[in-house]
Amino acid sequence: MSAAERPDRVVLGVTGSIAAYKAAELVRLLVKGGMDVSVIMTKAATEFVGELTFRTLSRNPVAVDCFDKSFRWEPEHISLADRADVMAIAPCTANVLAKLACGMADDLLTCAALACRAPMVVAPAMNERMWLHPATRRNLDVLKSRGVEVVEGSEGELACGGRGAGRMAEPAEIVRAIERLLGRKDRRMRP
């Protein structure tokens, strides 16, 4: 199958946030829109949503560990980075946001993100205090200056029980950002 015939490929990073449950809907919408989705989960993300959920929805294996015991000649983080037409990280915690801004690569997701040359979308999700912290604001500015598309969330109910900024954007909004980066401005996804 030529590149023109194959579906657009999205590599989706899912990090350890309560908003990880929204990533399942994001995968569903992307697949429904005809995209091939590969999911990378941080170990912390697996505490919120199981690998089986993403494997079932994406119809692809889910990557979690740099040191997978199955033998493959190619480094997993490089093959995933090369696979992406767009890389998205949703939810993107303050921790992963900081790692991306600093160029740290200490797990499979951040290694793949650092190696990836495709356009990137991040959808932050964190408590309002973390969202408004000057370090987080600076990290967002760094990523935006590198061309990363940041899909900011809205104010609303937070996992801590309070209300405020820091909620992850809705999956349909993240899909629209991914489609823009893929040049699919004229196509609309139906939830």
First to last CA, the chain: 28
Catalytic position from the list 66, 92, 102, 160: 160
Q: Tokens at residue 73, please?
A: 């000649």
Cα 102 from Cα 8, distance rounded (Å): 29
Neighbours of 110 (CB within 10 A): 24
- Per the listing, tokens 């964190």 go with 126
Cα 103 from Cα 95, distance rounded (Å): 12
Clarify whether 92 is annotated catalytic: no
Q: Tokens at residue 184, please?
A: 């699919």
Q: Which residues are catalytic?
A: 160
